[in-house]
Amino acid sequence: DQQVKQNSPSLSVQEGRISILNCDYTNSMFDYFLWYKKYPAEGPTFLISISSIKDKNEDGRFTVFLNKSAKHLSLHIVPSQPGDSAVYFCAASGMNRDDKIIFGKGTRLHILP
């Protein structure tokens, strides 16, 4: 049973437009959510996170929105740039510092010229 779901395996967006990556989770005990970015042949790198006490966190071109009632979060990238082409993982963890982080399967983002 997947606790963290990224239902779109891939997404293509025109350069300069907004990229929206979606993620759903099932476990209401999750209270910390993260997005990772992965280039080919590299490990995932941390991008941005959000705590359940917030509904929005912004860092430059990246904004994560959290809708707890819908158990849904999204990552917005605006404007999209060629270097944003990568696989993006949504992840979630519980309240404790040592809780495991559960990953989604990833969404492959293609930024079109």
Partner 1 sequence: GAVVSQHPSWVICKSGTSVKIECRSLDFQATTMFWYRQFPKQSLMLMATSNEGSKATYEQGVEKDKFLINHASLTLSTLTVTSAHPEDSSFYICSAPDRDGYGYTFGSGTRLTVV
Tokens found for residue 92: 């979630």
Tell me how far apart the alpha carbons of residues 4 and 72 are, in angstroms, rounded to a whole number: 10
Q: Is residue 48 part of the contact set for partner 1 (CB under 8 A)?
A: no
Q: What is the DSSP string of 33-52?
A: EEEEEE-TTS--EEEEEEET
Residue with smaller CB distance to partner 1, 69 or 97: 97
| Residue 42 interacting with partner 1 (CB under 8 A) | yes
Does 88 bind partner 1 (CB under 8 A)? Our answer is no
Question: Does residue 32 interact with partner 1 by CB under 8 A?
Answer: yes
The correct pick among 23, 30, 44, 66 for binding partner 1 (CB under 8 A) is 44
End-to-end CA distance of the chain: 37
Q: Give the one residue of 10, 14, 26, 81 binding partner 1; rule: CB under 8 A.
A: 10
